[in-house]
């Protein structure tokens, strides 16, 4: 679980927002963190350029099905391997 300070499109900042990260995705112009937002109790896309601070906790998020949560990725989506 990561806690983020996030500025939304209106310029409002939410501090220490708990998010269960699930994936990174790139749209035409921006990178996004896809995750389960505990504050809003649902899936959210967070633009990475709007994350002002991120703090990784020691808490392990419960497993969630990415496809069931966000829908299936487009046909041209490519996985990124780290490590």
Tell me the pLDDT tens digit for each residue of 8-55: 999 999 999 999 999 999 888 999 999 999 999 999 999 999 999 999
pLDDT of residue 28: 84
Domain coordinates of the chain in residue numbers? 2-62
Q: Which tokens in the block code for residue 44?
A: 């959210």
pTM: 0.86
Which band of pLDDT confidence, cut at 50, 70 and 90, is reported for residue 74?
confident
Cα 20 from Cα 80, distance rounded (Å): 19
pLDDT of residue 75: 79
Give the up-direction half-sphere exposure of residue 23: CA atoms within 13 A in the CB hemisphere: 20
Cα 49 from Cα 45, distance rounded (Å): 12
CB of 59 closer than 8 Å to CB of 48: no
């Amino acid at each position: 679980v990561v806690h983020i300070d996030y500025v939304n499109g209106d310029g409002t900042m939410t501090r220490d927002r708990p998010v269960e990260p699930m994936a990174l995705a790139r749209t035409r112009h921006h990178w996004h963190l896809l995750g389960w937002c505990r504050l809003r109790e649902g899936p959210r896309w967070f633009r990475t350029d709007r994350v002002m601070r991120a703090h990784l906790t020691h808490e392990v998020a419960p497993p969630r099905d990415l496809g069931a949560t966000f829908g299936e990725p487009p046909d041209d989506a490519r996985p990124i391997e780290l490590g």
